[in-house]
Structure 1
Amino acid sequence: MVAPPGHDRAAGPRPRAGRPGTPPLPYAPATAIAIPGLALEAPLTGLGRDRRGRLRTPPVEEARLAGWYEHGPAPGERGTAVIVGHRDTPTGPAVFLNLDDLDRGDEIEVVRADRRTAVFTVDAVRTFDKSRFPDTRVYGSRGRPELRLLTCGGTFHRERGYAANIVVFAHLTDVRPTAGVT
């Protein structure tokens, strides 16, 4: 999986938001993610790209940490924000182990540094073979605040790792004040 193509904060004008009543938010870094349906709460770290242009992942030693691609839109901003996490590590299960258990309509909450929580509703969960990963479909903007969660999936090969990526597609449906969350 490569990093989001042309997915930089300095990109040109932003198109109109999708759903009335939930306008895009201004930029604010993402600090934590919660997925109530999976009983998941995790801190977020900022991520960039490696030398080959691929999206970095959180440190494998920190299995409960997810990462937000901080050079793209922040969750809640117009555009497609990206959060990644490991499915498992050599020491056991990791933060996004059960990501493929999400269903259409489930909620994802992303806590932001501005003390607001961007609430996203899942549109779809898909698995894509890494050799045919649809970059534009996953990372492309649809003109509204959207979120993609990514982890590994498919068949595991000892030498090559997982053969696929699980991708959750979601869009912004609510904004709540953050209370008592780091």
Structure 2
Amino acid sequence: MASSYSPLPRIKVPIAGIASLGVLVGAWFTADGVRAQAAPPRPPAATAKADAAGRTIDPLPVSRPVNIRIPAIQVEAPLIGLGLLPDGTLDVPPGNLPQLAGWFQEGTAPGSAGTAVTAGHLDSATGPAVFYNLGALRTGNTVEVDREDGRTAVFTVDRVELVPGDAFPDARVYGQSDRPELRVITCGGAYSRTTGTYQGNTVVYARLTGVK
């Protein structure tokens, strides 16, 4: 991914008990050469509306996540901690390491009670990045997060949606929950050559359903 980013407007949202946090959405730059490839998959409207309220197991103790796996799209990637930039926006994984994913380390740890947030790049100057196929996920797919305590938190996908960057549903995406939930976020939607950004985000919503 290029070394500089061309962000869309920041959105202030409540996340992990922080009253006001700027989150960078739709801001991952991609080089023109990458756009010659086929467009990344998008979730169908039916999937976006499929909100499951299925069983969730009890939350796990807090433990740092170290790896994320999404078998349905053949993703396995290290997780690095993401903090806040000086302007209050959420940092992103390094642009020169597009196969890394990150989690908001000042918020909920995956598997613990609340809403844990993970994010990664869609593509880069050299080709698809870690979450290029995120839009191909469907309700019922699983996301596995390995933790420092040796446990693997298994999440089941309830919803996958493509949201516009200028109308980001911050309460739905980042709002806290009494049960352990996970969000996986990347860029999505139309790509603008004028701004060098995608105009939206693909968001996966999942809940804790198992432990290995």
* Interval of TM-score (by shorter of Structure 1 and Structure 2): 0.7 to 0.9
- Within the alignment, does 1:169 sit opposite 2:178 as a pair? no
Cα offset for 1:52?
2.2
Q: Distance in 2 between matches of 1:146 and 1:19?
A: 12
SS across alignment from 2:14: coil
The answer for unaligned runs of 5 or more in structure 1 is 10-17, 177-182
Cα offset for 1:159?
3.5
CA RMSD, 1 decimal: 1.8
After superposition, the C-alpha distances for 1:19-78 in whole angstroms (9 at most, x for unaligned) are: 777210111111000011111100000001112222111001001100010000100000
* Aligned length, in residue pairs: 168
SS across alignment from 1:5: strand
* Residue 31 to residue 84, structure 1, CA distance change in 2 (3 Å): same
Which of residues 120, 145, 157 in structure 2 aligns to 1:85? 120
Per mean C-alpha deviation after superposition, the further-off stretch among 158-167 and 80-89 is 158-167
The answer for unaligned runs of 5 or more in structure 2 is 1-9, 19-52
Q: Distance in 1 between matches of 2:166 and 2:101?
A: 24
Q: Distance in 1 between matches of 2:169 and 2:135?
A: 18
After superposition, the C-alpha distances for 1:108-129 in whole angstroms (9 at most, x for unaligned) are: 0000111100000000101111
When the two structures are superposed, what TM-score results if normalisation uses the length of structure 2? 0.75
Q: Distance in 2 between matches of 1:67 and 1:73?
A: 13
Structure 1 runs of 4+ off > 3 angstroms? 1-4, 18-21
Larger RCO, structure (CA 8 Å, separation 6 or more):
2
* Residue 4 to residue 73, structure 1, CA distance change in 2 (3 Å): farther
Per mean C-alpha deviation after superposition, the further-off stretch among 54-63 and 164-173 is 54-63
Q: Give the match for residue 13 of structure 1.
A: none
Which of residues 96, 109, 115 in structure 2 aligns to 1:61? 96
Q: Is the 8 A contact 2:56 2:179 kept in 1?
A: no
Q: Which amino acid aligns with 2:16?
A: H
Q: Give the match for residue 66 of structure 2.
A: 31
Q: Is the 8 A contact 2:118 2:184 kept in 1?
A: yes
After superposition, the C-alpha distances for 1:85-117 in whole angstroms (9 at most, x for unaligned) are: 000011211000000000000000000111100
Query: Among the aligned pairs, what percent are the same residue?
Result: 48
Q: Is the 8 A contact 1:78 1:143 kept in 2?
A: yes
